Amino acid sequence: MAVLGKIIKLNDEHINLRSGEVVGDVIMERDYFQLRTYSMNDEDREYGAKQNVQFTKEMAKKLRYYLDQFIEGE
């Protein structure tokens, strides 16, 4: 398991969007939160996670801070 160690906010880069949607799931344990993404249309998650990231509670709080900025339109 590779736990996220730092979040860096970048404002001068563009997101390269691809058409379609990926499937994701989250797992919550006492000390860790994990987000995994899968290929488009892999609803049954048969082909393995394409990406996953694990958060400690401290990193989850930092991510929540940036998500709040995004949601509020800053």
**pLDDT mean over 54-68:** 95
Q: Is position 27 within any domain?
A: yes
Residue 67 has a pLDDT of 94
Alpha-helical regions (H) of the chain: 57-72
Q: Is position 67 within any domain?
A: yes
In angstroms, rounded to a whole number, what is the distance separating the alpha carbons of residues 40 and 52? 15
Residue 36 has a pLDDT of 87
Helix (H, G, I), strand (E, B) or coil at 37: strand
Residue 29 has a pLDDT of 95
Sheet holding 33-38, edge to edge: 23-28, 33-38, 51-55
Q: Is position 39 within any domain?
A: yes
Q: Is position 2 within any domain?
A: no
Rounded to a whole number of angstroms, the distance between the first and last alpha carbons of the chain is: 33
10-53, pLDDT tens digit by residue? 888 888 887 777 888 899 999 999 998 888 777 787 877 778 89
Q: Is position 12 within any domain?
A: no
In angstroms, rounded to a whole number, what is the distance separating the alpha carbons of residues 8 and 62? 10
Structural domains in the chain (count): 1
Q: Is position 41 within any domain?
A: yes
Residue 74 has a pLDDT of 61
Q: Which domain holds residue 65?
A: 23-72
Residue 72 has a pLDDT of 94
Q: Is position 6 within any domain?
A: no
